[in-house]
Each structure stands twice: as C-alpha cells, then as structure tokens.
Amino acid sequence: MLYTQALALKAPWNPNFFGIPLGQSPAHLMGVIGPLILLAPFLTAFSQFLSTKMMMAVKQKNNAIVEKKDKQASDDFAQAFQTQSMYIFPLMIGFFSFQLPFGMTLYWITFTVFGILQQYRVSGLGGLKPWVESLKKKLWMKK
C-alpha cells in the first residue's frame, strides 16, 4: 500500500563519490588512484584520535586528593587502559578503513568530524586544551 510507481527507480544509483567507487576498499583502489587514497584511512585514524583526546578529562595539578591504595591501583589500571586505547583504537579504525569499502571510510570521517564539533560545543577542547595552549605558545614565540 505504501509503494507507488513514483517511488520506482528510473535508472540504477551511481555508486561513485567524485569518481571514486564507494564499494571498493582503499587497498583495491591503490592501483587505480595511487597513494593519494591512503589519505582517507589516515584522516579516519587522525579524526578518531582527536575525538578520543577531546573526550578525556583535563588533569588538574592543584587538586591533589589522597586516596586508598586499592582505589589508586584500580584507577591506575583504568587510566593506563584509557591511555593505551586512545592510541590503539584509532590505529585499528585506520586499518579497518583501509580494508573496508571506501563508503565506510567516508562514513567514519564524516560522523567523527560531526562528533568533534558536537564535543567542542558541549564541553570545549577537553583533553586537547593543553596541546592547543602549548601550540599557541610555540607559535607565539616564533613571531
């Protein structure tokens, strides 16, 4: 009942994005496009890293709280896992985006960029704040 003839496709969809077939992986497109296609998995991994870094809390040096040893040991493990995950998961996503179809890579990049923008609007730079301040100082010193 919901289907009408107006919804019927007149021609098949074009599965290309700016001439790049979305169904082919960057690994297969290396021969067609060249090493420039490696930019997509790199951007995917880099944007995932920035997103993850922004979500981490900024360490405050002034608020030193003495805790129990058990709590401190569990916090150390959690912090170590979070730090390792911040580096390992973006690399995994970059590798997956190299092996999976190019459309998936574009999906990851697009939604990660939107996630970064949303994270910035909600809570600012987060864990990137020390890096940005350090970069500003270095650039300011050069001028």
**pLDDT tens for residues 75-116?**
688 878 888 888 899 999 999 999 999 999 999 999 999 999
- Find the helix or strand (DSSP H, E) in which 130 lies: helix 129-142
- Is position 65 within any domain? no
- Is position 26 within any domain? no
- Is position 126 within any domain? yes
- Residue 131: give the domain boundaries: 38-50+73-143
Angle formed by the axes of helices 102-123 and 26-33, to 10°? 110
Q: How many domains does the chain have?
A: 1
Residue 21, phi then psi, degrees to nearest 5: -65, 125
d(CA 123, CA 54) in angstroms, rounded, equals 9
- Is position 14 within any domain? no
- Is position 61 within any domain? no
- Is position 127 within any domain? yes
- Is position 133 within any domain? yes
**pLDDT tens for residues 20-36?**
999 999 999 998 888 99
Q: Span 51-66, mean pLDDT?
A: 69
- Is position 103 within any domain? yes
